[in-house]
Structure 1
Amino acid sequence: MEAATGVRDIWYLNLLHFAGPIADPDGLLDWVESHRETFIGTITIDECRLIRWDYRVIDGRYDLLPVTLAASTFTQPNLR
């Protein structure tokens, strides 16, 4: 959806990471298809970050910590 200025006023982000094998890939695809139109909510953000995850051992356990590679603040009023 683009405003009269040609600037998008809506953005989508989808990211899913599986840390192991998927036990039922066909079942997962069926679930995704059946929930494709499910409304989850609306949120307005003013910053976007590109991150990578850093594995570290802290107090004897493994932790994943986000490391920011780049960030951008949305300053255009019609994006808020």
Structure 2
Amino acid sequence: MKTVSIRELHTRTGHYVRRAATEPITVTDRGQAIARLVPATEPTGVTFAQRRLRPGFKRFLAAGPIGGKDSTQIISEDRDER
């Protein structure tokens, strides 16, 4: 594992970020390890595009507006009262 000082990382950030894509890099401050740059991993689980709405929520959306006043209408009425 590569070790680099925080000052060197500041000076050559792009170089070390690209290098961290292939191997972990430990960042030190006065000889003490303070951080690690590690390769990014692919996200696990279901992506946003792959998600499906739950059946109950689909019915809720299909039902349309529940009723009542629109928030714009309520604000306008409140302003008119002043």
Q: TM-score, normalised by structure 2?
A: 0.20
**Which structure carries more helix by proportion?**
2
